[in-house]
Amino acid sequence: MSNEENRKQFTEAKNKWTEGPVAKILSRGPERKERFTTSSDFTVENIYTPLEFAENDYFQDLGMPGTYPFTRGVYPTMYRGRLWTMRQYAGMADASESNKRYKYLLEQGQTGLSVAFDLPTQIGYDSDHVLSDGEVGKVGVAIDSLADMEILFDGIPLDKVSTSMTINAPASVLLAMYICVAEKQGVSLDKIAGTIQNDILKEYIARGTYIFPPEQSMRLITNIFEFCSAQVPRWNTISISGYHIREAGSSAAQEVAFTLADAIAYVEAALEAGLEIDKFAARLSFFFNSHLNFIEEIAKFRAARRLWAKLMKDRFKAQKSKSMMLRFHTQTGGSTLTAQQPDNNIIRVTLQALAAVLGGTQSLHTNSRDEALALPTEESVRIALRTQQIIAHESGVADTPDPLGGSYYLEALTSQIEEKALEYIDKIDEMGGAVKAIELGYIQQEIADSAYNYQMGVEADENIIVGVNRFAVKEAPPENLLKISDQVQVLQIERINELKAKRDNRAVTEALNDLKTAAEGTDNLMPYIISAVKVYATLGEICGVLRDVFGEYRPAEIL
């Protein structure tokens, strides 16, 4: 059959789906919806056929897994060669309690650690600071000094386990502590592997745990790039995060666009600092959300990978294949969890985790069913981990790379997300880059508008949330939730006082003075921070020195 006959046959077949009674049913659906759309406001067509692909070149650059532009995955064998790293994000109370949880998770088959820090740690305050009152150990583990970090990883060999740390503004200090623990274990720095989030731009955009102004924050980030490229070669120096952008209400296309715009800013800052693209680009990593529009989420991961490869090759002239690979961690969508009927969250998380795997993630955290109510219990964490293990070992989806590649609908969405994300990036470039777009409030406003539109859809019953605005039931108050005692703060303050009484305070003062002098100059700050950490200067003391020199960030009002 000729191509022309093929086209005629498909046109006649498609007309049956786009005209007449069938079309009316398809266009309105069981809920009488007027329009089917994705989170990025792409219209979902009645049916997808080869016609769209001939007309729109949706199969562009599909390629093979492990080859540029990596649409189908960054490695040729993907999970047939090695499964994704299963990381359960965990941290609560003090270092001792979190250490017990980490050992429990490792016993249950988790293959990497992911550390959650409490709010005071995230913004560079010790547990005895007035602003820490009531927050110590509540949303993560409290880490005030190297002494806490030593307890946190007690009995956990850092040359055998990779660790991800969700820390941003004080990332340099927590990385220094981790390095010192490794040295105390006798592990050389070329043997430790893991990631620090270290993504300050998304803090200005969506999350708020910033300390220093953008220029000084970017200095710390590029200092880490430079130090690790020479001293800690297996460490991922940044996890450029779309997760919190999506949690704040962005669409899938916006998540890709704003994440990659931030990544461009980091690359440009590193190049301006004198680093060579192929010497640091391979250690950049990414962190994405997985939400509930199943096919759109898979398409999002594939589109991000393809677009980043093109940006690195064409814009930054990277030569090495590894420099063009977008490797990413995924966490299932925290904002999609509901306090109502919390067991429904198990199904939500399963779908989101499956989308991440089908999208080619390198590591994955699955949220627990009770996280809309409290920090997860051991039982809930185990169910979340088992979800990953069942997908890995029983579902068959890990048996071949990119098993849905070639789906008409998936390829259409992949190309549409890439195109929409590139439009956003071009607009941000016109503004002067991500930092300028943040200062102008553009990115924040786009996310706010997206979040508002979604919520209006929920309130109008156009966006259905099972158990919330549809299929609700009367429920008894939840039981057996994990609660963090206020006694944690009392114990942490006692530990700080004991530490300061027995450490060499003269050495601490000298190290902090050296750090201040270096901060006032242009030296790489990592060696000075490590020196301060080694003599047990606290997180708050080190960040306090940097606050004195750098100042603190105050956001502009967004209209």
In-domain check, residue 476: no
Give the residue numbers spanning the domain of 253. Answer: 85-459
CATH of the domain at 177: 3.20.20.240
In-domain check, residue 11: no
Q: How far, rounded to the nearest angstrom, does the alpha carbon of residue 215 sit from its chain's CA centroid?
A: 22
Q: How far is CA 39 from CA 231, 325, 457, in A?
A: 42, 26, 11
Q: Tokens for 127, please give them.
A: 């547990």
In-domain check, residue 322: yes
**What are the pLDDT digits (tens) for 427-472?**
999 999 999 999 999 999 999 999 999 999 999 988 999 999 999 9
Return d(Cα 34, Cα 32) in angstroms, integer: 6
Q: Are 538 and 499 in contact (CB under 8 A)?
A: yes
Provide the residue type at 236 as one letter: N
Assign 470 to helix, strand or coil: strand
Q: Mean pLDDT of all residues in the chain? A: 92
Return d(Cα 542, Cα 547) in angstroms, integer: 9
Bridge partners of 298, per DSSP, are none
Q: Are 11 and 51 in contact (CB under 8 A)?
A: yes
In-domain check, residue 43: no
Q: How confident is the model at residue 559 (pLDDT cuts 50, 70, 90)?
A: very low
Return d(Cα 529, Cα 542) in angstroms, integer: 7
In-domain check, residue 73: no
Assign 125 to helix, strand or coil: coil
Q: How far is CA 206 from CA 2, 248, 259, 318, in A?
A: 53, 6, 11, 30
Q: Which of 47-56, 62-71, 157-166, 334-343 has the lowest mean pLDDT?
A: 47-56
Q: Describe the strand order of the beta sheet including 238-241 as a list of residue ranges.
A: 235-236, 194-196, 163-166, 112-116, 85-90, 363-365, 328-332, 284-290, 238-241
Phi-psi category of residue 471: left, alpha or beta, with phi > 0 → left and psi -120 to 50 → alpha: left
State mean pLDDT over 212-241.
Answer: 95
Q: How confident is the model at residue 10 (pLDDT cuts 50, 70, 90)?
A: low
In-domain check, residue 559: no
In-domain check, residue 494: no
Q: How confident is the model at residue 555 (pLDDT cuts 50, 70, 90)?
A: confident
pLDDT exceeds cutoff 90 at 13: no
In-domain check, residue 130: yes
Return d(Cα 98, Cα 81) in angstroms, integer: 32
Q: Tokens for 299, please give them.
A: 């398409």
Taking each helix axis from N to C end, the angle separating 171-184 and 214-231, rounded to the nearest 10 degrees, works out to 20
Give the model's pLDDT for residue 3: 56
pLDDT exceeds cutoff 70 at 322: yes
Taking each helix axis from N to C end, the angle separating 378-393 and 95-107, rounded to the nearest 10 degrees, works out to 30
Total count of domains within the chain? 1
Residue with tokens 């899938």: 252
Question: How many of the other CB atoms lie within 10 Å of CB of 25?
Answer: 11
Question: How many of the other CB atoms lie within 10 Å of CB of 363?
Answer: 24
SS3 annotation, 135-182: CCCCCCECCCCHHHHHHHCCCCCCCCCCEEEECCCCHHHHHHHHHHHH
